[in-house]
Structure 1
Amino acid sequence: MTANSSYLFRFSAATANEYDAGALKGAHEQNFPVLRGQEGSVYRIRLEGGGIREPHWHPTAWELNYVIAGRARWTVLGTHPDGNYHNETFEAGPDDLVFAPQGFFHYFENVSDTEPLEVLVVFNTSTQEPNDDIGIVGTVNSLPRYVLASAFGVPVSTFDNLPTDLKPVILSRRPDHPSQ
């Protein structure tokens, strides 16, 4: 039996992208060559207590999420054949699957303030996360403040204190979490 195989990816040996609220490890075509041209990638997300996965959507991929441990609160927003927005918020726990259709706005958060949340995410794209990911921070900050004010029906000054970064946030914590 061979100890290594081109068909084997060891998450335990993968380098994690670390964030204040957790970590993200991924198997994609850049670090798991067998995925090249296969339109598939897999990520393991660990969210610490109070952690939030930045609200986002994927323009070219759907997302299938398997909850390994902990409890997550999900929100999924999308359009439907009736022409209206449909927004669903629900909780998922161990052994639950959550599907986010391509182009649907979604996010999840760790329900617990103290226990970690572990989620395995499967995409039908080989693109490295977050390269197929449009987050809410970058979206809002790409728009002129007067456009935001017009869309929300509020004064432009409402947006004066928003940061102007276009970089993705990926994993963050609730502002009221004790670690903040």
Structure 2
Amino acid sequence: MSPTLTLLFVLLYHVLMVFASDPDPLQDFCIPNNHPTAALKSCMNSSLVVVNDFIFSGIKSPGDFHKTGFSSQPVNVNNFPGLNTLGMSFVRADFDKGGINVPHMHPRATETAFVLEGKIYSGFVDTQNRVFAKVIEKGEVMVFPRGLVHFQMNVGDSQATILGMFNSQNPGLVKIPNALFGSEIRDELLEKAFGMSSREVDKLKKRFSPNN
């Protein structure tokens, strides 16, 4: 094979790999088969699927946000099998007055946040450290591009609720404080990175420890 054809083949291969990274469903739906003997991730026989497989009632009420000021109730294939293979998921987030959703990111999804009730200071930070933030109110929507750090805070005089929607079945979640101070990163590195004393780092590590 000539060098030119080899190069074209390599380029074509990589293009196909890019487009094949998130294939479209091959059937109308795929309700996971939970039978103990079923193959991993196999689909239930479509003749056994009923309308209730496509209905979820688990977020009618707010979550318990009174202790921390914030609660999130994810809705994904783990609690709503009807979403399987459809490339989407969502979350209900409830805020007490002054409650915050700490800076975090979703490595595998873009998110749109729709305000159901209240006033939310909402924004994200791009790769040039520019902050795009504004108070959004009931009926308004904000989008957080995939992989960018974003945040929310209730700035109204009453409780607030947001419905977040993701273009991924498994968007992932990385909470920045927990990732830095709730992990096994060496104290020395954190001290140098943030100009903090060992006592300050230890205090934050205790606060964000997975055991707390």
Report the TM-score, using the length of structure 1 for normalisation: 0.75
Distance 1:38 1:104 in 2: 23
Q: CA deviation at 1:156?
A: 4.0
Match of 2:144 among 96, 100, 119: 100
Residue 126 in 1 paired to residue 169 in 2?
Answer: yes
* Secondary structure of residue in 2 paired with 1:160: helix
CA contact (8 A) 1:47 1:110 kept: yes
Aligned residue among 62, 84, 105 for 1:57: 105
Mapped pair 1:115 → 2:158: yes
Query: Greater strand share, 1 or 2?
Result: 1
Change (3 A) 1:157 1:29: same
Change (3 A) 1:98 1:139: same
SS in 2 for 1:163: helix
> What letter corresponds to residue 180 of structure 2 in structure 1?
V
| Alpha-carbon separation, structure 1, partners of 2:75 and 2:110 | 16
Deviations 1:5-61 (A, max 9, x none): 3322224568x7534224333321122211101121121111111111121111111
* Partner amino acid, structure 2, of 1:63: E
List gaps (5 residues or longer) in structure 2: 1-50
User: Which letter maps to 1:35?
Assistant: L
* Structure 1 partner of 2:126: 78
SS at match of 2:126: strand
Amino acid aligned to 1:120:
L
Normalized per residue, the structure richer in helix is: 2
- Pairing 1:1-180 to 2, within 5 Å after superposition: 5-11=52-58, 18-19=64-65, 20=67, 21-79=69-127, 84-112=128-156, 114-127=157-170, 132-141=172-181, 142=183, 143-164=185-206, 165-167=208-210
1:138: how far off? 1.8
Shift of 1:78: 1.7
**Which protein is bigger by CA-based radius of gyration?**
2
Give SS of 2:189's match. helix
Identity between Structure 1 and Structure 2 (%):
22
CA root-mean-square deviation: 2.6
Question: Aligned partners of 2:141, 2:194: CA distance in 1, in Å?
Answer: 34
TM-score when normalising by structure 2: 0.65
- Matches of 1:115 and 1:162, distance apart in 2: 30
What count of residue pairs does the alignment treat as equivalent? 158
Q: Which amino acid aligns with 1:65?
A: A
Taking a change above 3 Å as real, the CA distance of residues 70 and 13 of structure 1, as seen in their structure-2 partners, is closer
